[in-house]
Structure 1
Amino acid sequence: MSSKERLKILKMIDEGKITAEEGTQLLGALKKQKQQRSGATKGGARWLRIRVSDLNSGKETVRVNLPIGLVNIGMKMGARFVPEIEGEAVMEDLAEALTQGMSGKIIDIVDEADGERVEIFIE
């Protein structure tokens, strides 16, 4: 974990954007992420993979890969800043999949109006 990342988290605590407990969780997640990258932890790292593709061309337009540890913390912090997202069915499905340790495709949404398909995997 770089000192720049650590300083950013400490500033968020100082400004009251997050609590000290949330800051500690973020620091722990960053440390864990660094260990996973270096191969220091047992087993493989778990990732949340989000894919958005165009229905007409079949081309992938968005590809996002996030470590599960950061996703858990991000969902908790995000609910604090955007309370209306907490009741969303997709967010509830995602939270349930994460807590139950599921893997594979957990969400597959087709938006005919926008011509997009959103797939979310846990690996």
Structure 2
Amino acid sequence: MATPEERMQILKMIEAKQITAEEGAKLLAALGEKDKHETPGPSPATSGKWFRVRVTDLRTGRRKVNVNIPLGLVDVGLKMGAKFAPAGVEGLDMDKILAAIKTGGQGKVVDVEDEEDGEHVEVFIE
């Protein structure tokens, strides 16, 4: 079942313009679908944890992207985000990332510096 915290996080992401209202509506609808099809409680491996994405400008050190997604929404988010993935992401092993999430892994799962675009991308689970 979707928690109020998950719903509030989506609304905060819309407010911060990290996602569009349409994307937020899709995530909220996906939470509703999740509620209909899911009777057991959240997995202990994902309960209370966050999937965090940080993109920092290498030149200025300023954070360009700071997205926090409840682990319960990561499957939906990865499917939706795949449509917007930039070139070069195909080198990431998404199955490995999902496996780390499902087994309760914690810590940094991606740490990439793109010298061409001047960005440092970090993805981690807390």
Tell me if both proteins adopt one fold, taking TM over 0.5 as the criterion.
yes
2:66 is the alignment partner of 1:57: no
Greater helix content: 1
Selected match of 2:108 from 101, 105, 108: 105
One-letter amino acid of the counterpart of residue 51, structure 2: L
Distance in 1 of aligned mates of 2:54 and 2:70:
15
Unaligned runs of 5+ in 1: 3-7, 13-17, 34-43, 83-87
Shift of 1:95: 1.3
Matched position secondary structure for 2:66:
strand
1:26, 1:89 → 2: CA distance? 33
Please report the TM-score for the alignment, with normalisation by the length of structure 1. Answer: 0.56
Q: What's the secondary structure of 2:34's corresponding residue?
A: helix
Match of 1:114 in 2: 117
Q: 1:25 to 1:61 in 2, by over 3 A?
A: same
Any gaps of 5 or more consecutive residues in structure 2?
8-24, 84-89
The list of structure 1 runs, each at least 4 consecutive aligned residues, that deviate by more than 4 angstroms after superposition, is 26-29
Residue identity over aligned pairs, in percent, reads 37
Contact 1:25 1:73 in 2 (8 A): no
Q: What is the identity, as a one-letter code, of the residue corresponding to 2:100?
A: A
Give the count of matched residue pairs: 94
CA RMSD across the alignment: 3.9
1:119 is displaced (CA, Å) by 0.2
Aligned residue for 1:74, secondary structure, equals: helix
**How high is the TM-score relative to the length of structure 2?**
0.55
Secondary structure of the corresponding residue to residue 56 of structure 1: coil
Amino acid at match of 2:111: D
User: Equivalent residue of 1:97, what SS?
Assistant: helix
Does the alignment pair 1:93 with 2:102?
A: no
Task: Tell me how far 1:63 sits from its aligned partner.
Answer: 0.3
1:47 pairs with 2:47: no
The equivalent residue for 2:34 is 25
